[in-house]
């Protein structure tokens, strides 16, 4: 696509076209109403970001979208664009573009993808950018490239490793407040504490429903496919604080309640229950379908859908947001992650853990063996590290993956 | 009761025919061709001939390896992880760990007893996408050195001043070897260096599963004495088992699986 960087109308049309195609794709399972609503909401958000009148703030994974909603701006979780693009199969051109720009094929494809999209002028222009030191260092670096390119300010959130220290909370809270004020200035929006409190209440409400929904997934047989559930996380990162997400979570909760009541199983004749760690390949559904439909091994839960924070105090919004951020299981020491995984294994009656080690992600790969060894001391559960690519389908070999999955399922069968 | 196991790997295809008492009646080793079905037919036919049997006499067939789903007459397909484990344990009942180095995969498999004399796989690890530390790596290097892969083991025994190979990427190591040849270094020293490199690479992978004695080595690369020797040295003082024919462990395991399959059917 050759569009000028500021030609939002053309970008909008192009994106809309891709999305319509995506929605018309043949599906191998009937999606839940909430999941469809989630897809439409994300689509709406992207469409919104292509409007000239919108203030758009690019954010990375852990930057709380609440502060952006509080300014009436559109939060765009920009790495998720790579996932969306991979799903609609427009990613190869983006990846090519980033390679031509000097980005190694061995580096993270989320970042390569979004960089390529920017080079090809596919992305809605930002008014400001916020990155954080978690999940990874690649993020702020690439955000710097964007800031330079779009001539917009880039704010950086330093998240300390010592998550449990009181001072960590203060540091994050202070930064969040500062960044919010700066964002208001950069986008010409007014920041009001009342508005932020309202947004915090939205998050609390959505969280209660979402947690309840995830609680319902403890049911055996599982009421929801992992293939479907894992897609919530990408949207969640940019929907916390919105009314839309309250509605989606409530809807999801109601649907799952109904399914559990009726005894409806996501996978007929469920044989095994798996815990899936990290994200997924976005270019196809093969891996999940193979597990869930061929082997009847339902992905009962995904570690990334785990919510670890308590209700936030709307009167102390920045402290609360800091706490929410720091309790995330992905942040901090590997022991913390190991403990969380162990508790999920128990709570969700898990037969086996699949730890997806994404290609080029230094961050997650460095955790793999530590968590595997640590978990061995906590629970007796087979744990398989699956090397897999999330975005770049050129790094995917169906047969190799199937052999590994088949072998893992044989391990689980051997324990029965 | 007679059963057959067929292992269609990325490089070779093996057939093992098992007799009443689980004894190996015959086996064949073929190159895997593009036409998997044809290779399998031929390997199976010859194995039957050697065992003086006809296909009607075979009660059950299990296929394994990358081509496991392309054997129309197989009763079941099982991955090579499980099959190598069963094969190794059949040959050496005390096996706790299997290291298999094949054409495109190297893997380690951890076993545990089940109490009924049978074992099960408790953990395994396989190399990631690249060919470093596999048979293909050695094949490419043999090509560059213009020697037969079968002679590598023997040749390396003559080395008395091993050359260190630093690169494990097949492409980079290839150019490294070419430059060593240009420096007129003896081939045996280069080959010995390659064996050390491959042994270290495989061990760095396989040591991620608990490496308990006894360790049994399988796969075509274990026919290379040089590689086996390096593995032994690195794993000292652990006890290492080497089958007479390490390449057929997968097919043997498949034939054993076929026996279980028939028993559970009847
Ligand atoms: N006689 C021999 N001497 C030395 N090395 C050999 C010999 N025969 C085979 N090899 C090595 O064994 C490798 C093939 O091993 P094997 O037959 O176990 O692979 P495969 O099962 O087909 O592959 P995979 O399991 O990876 O799909 C060859 O690449 C070669 O390096
Ligand atoms: S996948 Fe890894 S490298 Fe890529 S953005 Fe996420 S944390 Fe960073
Ligand atoms: Mg093999």
Coil/strand/helix, residue B162 = coil
Residues of chain A found within 8 Å of residue B79, distances taken between Cβ atoms: 403, 406-407, 410
For residue range B33-67, list pLDDT tens digits in order: 889 999 999 999 999 999 999 999 999 999 999 99
Nearest C-alpha to atom 2 of ligand 2 is from which residue?
A361
CA B44 → CA A400, B53, B61, distances in Å?
25, 11, 10
Q: B33-53 burial by CB neighbour count: b if 16+ within 10 A, else e?
A: eeebeebbebbbeebbeebeb
Same domain, B66 and B150: no
- d(CA A291, CA A289) in angstroms, rounded, equals 5
Q: Residue B114 domain-assigned?
A: no
Same domain, B131 and B236: yes
The verdict on whether omega for the bond into residue B209 sits within 30 degrees of 0, i.e. cis, is no
Distance between Cα A135 and ligand 2 center (Å): 7
Q: Residue B88 domain-assigned?
A: yes
Dihedral sign computed on CA atoms, order A46, A47, A48, A49: positive
Distance between Cα B250 and ligand 3 center (Å): 7
pLDDT at position A200 is 98
Same domain, B150 and B236: yes
Say if ligand 1 is within 6 A of residue B66 CB: yes
DSSP A123-156: SPPPSEEEEESSS-SHHHHHHHHHHHHHT--EEE
Residues of chain A found within 8 Å of residue B114, distances taken between Cβ atoms: 414
Q: Residue B110 domain-assigned?
A: no
Nearest-Cα distance to chain A for B120, in Å, is: 6
Say if ligand 1 is within 6 A of residue B245 CB: no
Q: Give the chain B residue whose CA is nearest to the CA of A405.
A: B79
Same domain, B191 and B236: yes
Same domain, B135 and B225: yes
Tell me how far apart the terminal alpha carbons of chain A are, to the nearest angstrom: 53
CATH number of the CATH domain containing B255: 3.30.420.40
> Which candidate from B114, B122, B128 shows the least CB-CB separation from A411?
B122
Q: Give the chain B residue whose CA is nearest to the CA of A406.
A: B79
Q: Which of B21, B52, B55 is nearest to B6 (CA)?
A: B55
For residue range B82-94, list pLDDT tens digits in order: 999 999 999 999 9
Same domain, B229 and B257: no
Q: And the tokens for A109?
A: 């494809």
Residues of chain A found within 8 Å of residue B81, distances taken between Cβ atoms: 403, 407, 410-411
Contact call for residues B24 and B252 (beta carbons, < 8 A): yes
Q: Which residues line ligand 2 (CB under 6 A)?
A: A 79, 108, 110-111, 135-136, 138-139, 358, 361, 363-364
Residues contacting residue B187 through CB under 8 Å, at least 6 positions apart:
B145, B147, B155, B181
Q: Which of B146, B231, B233 is nearest to B191 (CA)?
A: B146
Q: And the tokens for B159?
A: 């080395």
Reading chain A (416 residues) residue by residue, the pLDDT tens digits are 444 445 778 888 888 888 888 888 888 899 999 999 999 999 999 899 998 888 999 999 999 999 999 999 999 999 888 998 898 888 889 999 999 988 888 888 999 999 999 999 889 999 999 999 988 888 899 999 999 999 999 999 999 988 888 899 999 999 999 999 999 999 999 999 999 999 999 999 999 999 999 999 999 999 999 999 999 987 888 999 999 999 999 999 999 999 999 999 999 999 999 999 999 999 999 999 999 999 999 999 999 999 999 899 999 999 999 999 999 988 888 999 999 999 999 999 999 999 999 888 877 888 899 999 999 999 999 999 999 999 999 888 898 899 999 999 999 999 98
Nearest-Cα distance to chain B for A31, in Å, is: 31
Mean of the pLDDT values across residues B188-214? 91
Same domain, B60 and B137: no
The torsion angles phi and psi of A253, rounded to 5 degrees, stand at -60, -45
Same domain, B255 and B210: no
Q: Residue B112 domain-assigned?
A: no
How many residues in total does chain A contain? 416
User: What range does the domain containing B148 cover?
Assistant: 127-241
Say if ligand 1 is within 6 A of residue B150 CB: yes
Q: Residue B118 domain-assigned?
A: no
What burial class does residue A340 get, using C-beta atoms within 10 Å of its C-beta: 0-12 exposed, 13-18 middle, 19+ buried?
Answer: middle
> If DSSP states are collapsed to H, E and C, what string results for A205-216?
HHHHHHHHHHHH
Nearest-Cα distance to chain A for B3, in Å, is: 21
Edge-to-edge order in the sheet of strand B97-101: B119-126, B106-113, B97-101, B215-218, B240-241
Q: Output Rg (C-alpha) for chain B, integer angstroms.
A: 19
- d(CA A287, CA A358) in angstroms, rounded, equals 14
Q: Residue B87 domain-assigned?
A: yes
Residues contacting residue A267 through CB under 8 Å, at least 6 positions apart:
A221, A222, A225, A292, A293, A296, A297, A298
Domain tally, chain B: 2
Q: Which of B81, B202, B225, B48 is nearest to B132 (CA)?
A: B202
Contact call for residues B91 and B252 (beta carbons, < 8 A): yes
Q: And the tokens for A54?
A: 């919108």
Q: Residue B98 domain-assigned?
A: no
């Amino acid at each position: 696509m050759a569009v000028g960087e500021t030609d939002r109308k053309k970008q909008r049309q192009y994106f809309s076209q891709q999305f319509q195609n995506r929605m018309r794709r043949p599906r191998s399972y009937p999606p839940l109403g909430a999941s469809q609503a989630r897809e439409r909401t994300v689509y709406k958000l992207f469409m919104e970001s292509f409007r000239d009148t919108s203030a758009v703030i690019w954010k990375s994974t852990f930057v709380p979208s609440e502060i952006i909603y509080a300014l009436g701006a559109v939060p765009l979780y920009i790495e998720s664009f790579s996932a969306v693009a991979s799903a609609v199969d427009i990613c190869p051109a983006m990846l090519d573009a980033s390679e031509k720009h000097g980005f190694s094929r061995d580096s993270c494809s989320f970042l390569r993808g979004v960089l390529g999209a920017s080079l090809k002028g596919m992305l809605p222009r930002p008014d400001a950018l916020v990155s954080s030191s978690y999940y990874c260092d690649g993020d702020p670096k690439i955000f710097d490239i964007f800031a330079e390119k779009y001539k917009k300010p880039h704010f950086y959130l330093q998240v300390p490793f010592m998550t449990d220290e009181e001072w960590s909370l203060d540091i994050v809270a202070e930064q969040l407040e500062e960044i919010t004020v700066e964002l208001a200035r950069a986008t010409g929006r007014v920041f009001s504490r009342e508005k932020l409190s309202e947004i915090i209440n939205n998050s609390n409400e959505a969280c209660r429903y979402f947690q309840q929904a995830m609680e319902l997934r403890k049911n055996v047989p599982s009421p929801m496919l992992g293939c479907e559930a894992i897609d919530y996380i990408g949207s969640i990162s940019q929907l916390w604080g919105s009314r839309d997400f309250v509605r989606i979570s409530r809807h999801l909760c109601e649907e799952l309640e109904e399914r559990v009541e009726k005894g409806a199983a996501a996978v007929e004749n469920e044989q095994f229950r798996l815990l899936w760690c990290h994200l997924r390949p976005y270019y196809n559904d093969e891996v999940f379908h193979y597990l869930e439909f061929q082997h009847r091994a339902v992905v009962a839960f995904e570690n990334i859908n785990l919510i670890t924070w308590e209700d936030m105090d709307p009167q102390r919004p920045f402290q609360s947001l800091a706490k929410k951020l720091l309790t995330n299981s992905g942040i901090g020491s590997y022991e913390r992650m190991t403990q969380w995984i162990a508790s999920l294994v128990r709570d969700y009656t898990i037969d086996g853990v699949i730890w997806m080690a994404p290609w080029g992600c230094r961050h997650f790969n460095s955790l793999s063996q530590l968590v595997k060894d640590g978990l061995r001391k906590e629970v007796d559960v087979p744990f398989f590290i699956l090397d897999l690519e999330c975005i770049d389908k050129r790094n995917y070999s169906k047969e190799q993956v199937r052999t590994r999955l088949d072998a893992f399922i044989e391990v689980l069968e051997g324990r029965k | 009761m007679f059963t057959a196991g067929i292992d269609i790997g990325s490089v070779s295809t093996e057939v093992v025919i098992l007799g009443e008492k689980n004894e190996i009646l015959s086996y064949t080793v073929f190159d895997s061709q593009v036409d998997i079905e044809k290779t399998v037919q031929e390997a199976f036919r010859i194995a039957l001939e050697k065992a003086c049997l006809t296909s009607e006499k075979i009660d059950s067939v299990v296929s394994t390896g990358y081509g496991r789903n392309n054997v129309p007459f197989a009763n079941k397909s099982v991955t090579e992880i499980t099959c190598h484990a069963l094969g190794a344990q059949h040959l050496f009942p005390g096996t706790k760990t299997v290291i298999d180095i094949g054409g495109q995969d190297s893997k380690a498999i951890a076993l545990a007893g089940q109490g009924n004399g049978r074992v099960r796989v408790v953990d395994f690890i396989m190399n990631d996408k690249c060919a470093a530390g596999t048979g293909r790596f050695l094949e490419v290097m043999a090509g560059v050195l213009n020697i037969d892969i079968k002679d590598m083991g023997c040749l390396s025994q003559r080395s008395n001043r091993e050359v260190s190979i630093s690169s494990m990427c097949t492409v980079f190591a290839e150019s490294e070897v070419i430059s060593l040849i240009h420096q007129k270094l003896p081939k045996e020293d280069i080959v010995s260096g390659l064996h050390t490199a491959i042994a270290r690479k495989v061990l760095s992978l396989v040591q991620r599963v608990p490496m308990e004695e006894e360790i049994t080595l399988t796969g075509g690369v274990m026919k290379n004495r040089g590689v086996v020797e390096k593995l032994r040295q690195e794993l000292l003082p652990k006890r290492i088992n080497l089958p007479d024919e390490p390449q057929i462990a997968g097919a043997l395991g498949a034939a054993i699986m076929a026996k279980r399959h028939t028993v559970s059917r009847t």
